[in-house]
Structure 1
Amino acid sequence: MSATQITYDNAFYEKQMQGSYTSAQEILGYLNTLLPQPHSVIDVGCGVGTWLRVWQESYADISIYGIDGNNVDSHLYQIPLQSYQQVDLTQNAHTLIKNLSYKALNGGGG
C-alpha cells in the first residue's frame, strides 16, 4: 500500500463518525428546506451509512439503501444491515448496478 492510500477500516470510521454525523445533520437540514420530502435515498460510497441514518431520522418512512466497498465490523454500521450491500466499487457502473441485490432495492431499507 502506498503512503497516499487511505485504509477504510474500523479505526477510520470510528475516528470520523461523529464529524460525519454532524456534517450530515447540517447539510441535510438545509437540503430539506429546498427539496420535497424524498421517498427513498441511495448512497453510493456510503461508508457505514451515517448520512443515510440522518435521512432516516428526518423522515421515518423513507426507504434507504447504501452501497460501499468497505468491510468493517457490523456494529459500526449506522443503518440496518439489510439496507446495506458491500460491492466492488472499482467495477464498471453497469455491472455494479446489475449485481445489486434486487431484494434490497425493492423493499429493503428502512
Structure 2
Amino acid sequence: MKIQTLTKEEQQLISFLPAGAERPRPQRELAALLYGSGSNENTRKVRKLVNQAILHGAPVGSLHSNKNAGYFLITNEDERLAALRTLRTQSSSLIKRANHLRTADLWIS
C-alpha cells in the first residue's frame, strides 16, 4: 500500500519517529513533543494519530515490552513481523474481553 497524503499532524508525528525498532519513541514523549505534555489525554491523541497514519499507509510499528516500548517507522520485514505480533496480541486480548463481557452477569444494585 502506498502512503496516501498525510495530514500536517500525521507528518509531524512521522518526523518524530525513529527509523527502525532499536529505540522506539515512547508514547508519553511523543505526546509531549506534539501537544506540550505527556498527559493521559494527549497520549490518547497520539494513539489515535498513529492509527490514522497507519490507515493512510504510513509504516508505523509499536513495541510494548517493558524495556523497549514505543513507536517507530518500520524499515524491514523483521520489524514488520514484530509490529504485527504486537497487534495480534492486542486483538486477541480484546476478543477475550468481549467474549467475557458478552456472558457477564449484569450489575444490579
- How high is the TM-score relative to the length of structure 1? 0.26
Structure whose alpha-carbon radius of gyration is higher: 2
Flag the structure with higher helix content.
2
- How high is the TM-score relative to the length of structure 2? 0.26
